[in-house]
Amino acid sequence: MTTQFKPWWMPLAIVALLLTSVLLFALLVLKSAITQPTQTRELQSQQNNPVYRWKMVTTWPKNFPGLGLAPENFAKAVQKMSRGQLVIQVHGANEIVPAMGVFDAVSSGSVQMGHGAAYYWKGKIPAAPFFTSVPFGMNAQELNGWLHYGGGLALWREIYAPFNLLPFAAGNTGVQMGGWFNREINSMADIQGLKMRIPGLGGEVFTRAGGEAITIPGGELFTSLQSGVIDATEWVGPYNDLAFGFHQVAKYYYYPGWHEPGTTLEIIVNQEAYTALPEHLQSVISVAARMVNQDMLDEYTSRNNRALRELIDQHGTELRKFPDDVLAAFRRISFDMYDEMAAEDEMFNKVYRSYKQYLDSVRSYHDISEETYYLSR
Ligand code: CA
């Protein structure tokens, strides 16, 4: 019989190996205990909080100053507030649909959202311009009061509901400018036969006053004015008008923007897409819309005056005020026209009654507060 040689350290090595294995096993068990619930939680989170990827079409060129920045700011705010759960890709005019195709694209559900202005759709809905701006109507502050505390938004939703659309106020330019003219306007005689780009109900008034209102998208205005296709154009105000370079092709810059005294922009959401969202994401949309609605007005308030100074001091633009009798004639034509349109269209009548009643009541205070203060400071 031979005795097998066993080194003295062998039992120690076996114990050490066993201990290491136990330790490694314990570590693995611990790791899996820590990571598995996290993975499970993430999986559950993805199932409970799916990411929504939406498309938003706009009536503005991509990133156009002011108007075109609102949809971008809106999309960024929504993404942050929803912690990445609602991601909105913004498309400028003509990327998916042309500017005037926004309403139909959102209505049909081919995209989920749009940004533009209600008065572009007056051919489909005669009362729509009240939710953007109407000649001699409310200013930004008053319109926001009517929309959010005077029943205006509920009426807006009522007239858009048959089109499967949910509207939100989403931007305001404040009082616009009267426009760029190649000749001076000294009386109503100078309006006769004048070809002017002027949209919405302002265009109707201008035509009734003897002018010729022409509809041209923003991107074509400069060349139309330069080539004489039109004699005059309005756009927005100094900030946007300077960016378009109208001062290079027209000499006189008229005020005030009687036709757009506080232009509200809109976000429209496809009703089915909106209904399919969880409630907290619906709230995110609503809060982000209120944010850009105010933010745009703040931006215009800050930038318009700087741009106006540049137009006058550096580019020789001549400021002119419309003669009082021209403004009075435009005003008379406007309210006659509203009465006439109210008699023709039931919904126009309903919206106009609410709008006019609010305008009259808010004026009784604004005449002694805002207006008197403006005149006395
Ligand atoms: Ca305008």
CA of 193 relative to ligand 1 center, distance in Å: 20
Question: Where is 155: in which H helix or E strand?
Answer: helix 152-160
Cα 261 to averaged position of ligand 1 atoms, centre (Å): 9
CA of 179 to the centre of ligand 1 (A): 8
Give the distance (Å) from ligand 1 centre to CA of residue 175. 9
- Closest Cα partner for 174 from 128, 142, 209? 142
**122 CA distance to ligand 1 centroid (A)?**
15
User: Cα(104)–Cα(121) distance, rounded to whole angstroms?
Assistant: 10
Residue type, position 38, single letter: T
Determine the distance separating the centroid of ligand 1 and the alpha carbon of 100, expressed in angstroms.
15
Say how many Å lie between the CA of residue 161 and the centre of ligand 1.
26
Distance from Cα 62 to the centre of ligand 1, integer Å: 18
> How high is the pLDDT of residue 217?
75
Structural domain range at position 70: 50-173+262-301
Low-confidence ranges of the chain (pLDDT < 50): 1-3
C-alpha 30 – ligand 1 centre gap (Å): 66
H/E element, 373: helix 372-376
CB–CB of 236/177 below 8 Å?
Answer: yes
- Cα 57 to ligand 1 centre (Å): 20
> How far apart are the CA of 116 and the centre of ligand 1, in A?
12
- pLDDT value at residue 1: 44
The whole-number pLDDT of residue 218 equals 78
Distance in angstroms (rounded) separating the CA atoms of residues 176 and 107: 29
Q: Is residue 90 part of a domain?
A: yes
Q: What pLDDT was estimated at residue 216?
A: 83
**If you measure from the C-alpha of residue 173 to the centroid of ligand 1, how many angstroms do you get, rounded to a whole number?**
9
Distance (angstroms) between ligand 1 centre and the Cα of 275 equals: 33
CA distances from 217 to 59, 94, 100, 120, 196 (A): 9, 12, 9, 11, 13
Residue 110 in any domain: the answer is: yes
Instruction: Give me ligand 1 centre to Cα 201, in Å.
Output: 11
AA letter at 192? Q
- Provide, rounded to the nearest whole percent, the portion of the chain with pLDDT above 70: 88
Query: Within a domain: residue 223?
Result: no
Output the CA 228–ligand 1 centroid distance in Å.
Answer: 20
How many angstroms separate the alpha carbon of residue 343 from the centre of ligand 1? 27
Distance set, CA 31 to CA 24, 103, 208, 263, 373 (Å): 10, 54, 79, 60, 70
Expressed in angstroms and rounded, the spacing between residue 155 Cα and the centre of ligand 1 is 23
- Taking the CA atoms of residue 324, residue 128, residue 221 and residue 257 in that order, the dihedral angle to the nearest 10 degrees is 20
The CA 49 to ligand 1 mean position distance, Å, reads 41
Q: Half-sphere exposure (CA, 13 Å, Cβ side) for 356?
A: 12
In a domain, 106, yes or no: yes
Written as six digits, the tokens of 144 are: 């926001």
In a domain, 211, yes or no: no
Cα 224 to Cα 179, 207, 241, 250, distances in angstroms: 14, 19, 15, 11
Ligand 1 centroid to Cα of residue 4, in Å, is 104
Quote the DSSP letter at residue 249.
Answer: T
Domain count, the chain: 1
| 128 within domain boundaries | yes
- C-alpha 14 to ligand 1 mean position (Å): 88
Domain assignment present for residue 154? The answer is yes
* Ligand 1 geometric centre to CA of 236 (Å): 4
23 by DSSP, 3-state: which? helix
Beta bridge partners of 179: 254
Asked if the structure places residue 237 within a domain, the reply is no
Query: What CATH number does residue 144 fall under?
Result: 3.40.190.170
Please provide the DSSP assignment of 259-318 as one string.
T-SSPEEEEEEEHHHHHTS-HHHHHHHHHHHHHHHHHHHHHHHHHHHHHHHHHHHHH-PE
3-state secondary structure of 126: coil
